Amino acid sequence: MRVISGIYKGRRLKTVEGQSVRPTSDRLRETLFNVLKGSVEGAKFVDLCAGSGAVGIEALSRGAAHVTFVESARRAAAIINENLAHCKIEDHFRVINRDAVSVLRYFASYHLQYDIFYFDPPYDSDLYTPVMQTLAKSRIVAEAGIVIVEHRRKFPLSPNYESLRPYREINQGDTTLTFYSMERGIA
């Protein structure tokens, strides 16, 4: 796995070994960032269930103002730190080694807002609904913010999570990226 574009282009990244982590492929990351285009530059980006940190590191490479990596597995959080050090990334990031829902509640309690959330839990995880509902109920997704969920193509997500509405889907192999935005005024 490598960084695809930007200032860290070509840097190799370590992955987390084992069945519980499924790294986002280079091809899917390239597709994702081609869709996001200029919205990453200057954005506050959250990589939820970050695994190796490849998506968040790609965001930093492409000009994100700040990336928060959220990863509950201790070994994976250590790999994220190793990958950041290998790329010589010294600032504009934070690695949080806690579960996604508690971190999102923490963000909400401090009225923090972010522009882009990338959520990629293990495919068989029970996290999809609680994380999406927490994002929808809180005000942590910025006004024009985006939530992108990576999931199994055969595992459809809910058509709506309260005020989070899907507006685009991209299928690649067995994987789907579903893009959500906030519809304000809905509670």
118-127 pLDDT tens trace: 999 987 889 9
- pLDDT digit string, tens, across residues 99-113: 999 999 999 999 999
Distance CA 64, CA 151 (A): 24
Tell me, what's the pLDDT at 49?
Answer: 96
Residue 84 has pLDDT above 80, yes or no: yes
Q: How confident is the model at residue 21 (pLDDT cuts 50, 70, 90)?
A: low
Residues 36/28, Cβ–Cβ less than 8 Å:
no
Average pLDDT, the chain: 93
Is there a contact between 16 and 73 (Cβ–Cβ < 8 Å)?
Answer: yes
Taking only the tens place, the pLDDT of each residue in 133-159 is: 999 999 999 999 999 999 999 888 888
In the predicted structure, residue 187 carries a pLDDT above the cut 50:
no
Show the tokens assigned to 26. Answer: 């280079």
Q: Residue type at 16?
A: V
- Which of 27, 26, 16, 82 has the alpha carbon at shortest distance from 49? 16
Structure tokens at 69: 């990596």
Tokens of 49: 């269930």
Q: Which domains does the chain have, with CATH numbers?
A: 31-182 (3.40.50.150)
**Interhelix angle 74-86/54-61, nearest 10 degrees:** 30
Query: Which of the residue ranges 11-25, 43-57, 95-109, 145-159 would you say has the lowest mean pLDDT?
Result: 11-25
Q: What angle do CA 25, 112, 129 make, to 5 degrees?
A: 55
If you search the block for the tokens 């990351």, which residue do you land on? 29
pLDDT at position 157: 87
pLDDT of 78 higher than 80: yes
**What is the pTM (predicted TM-score) of this model?**
0.94
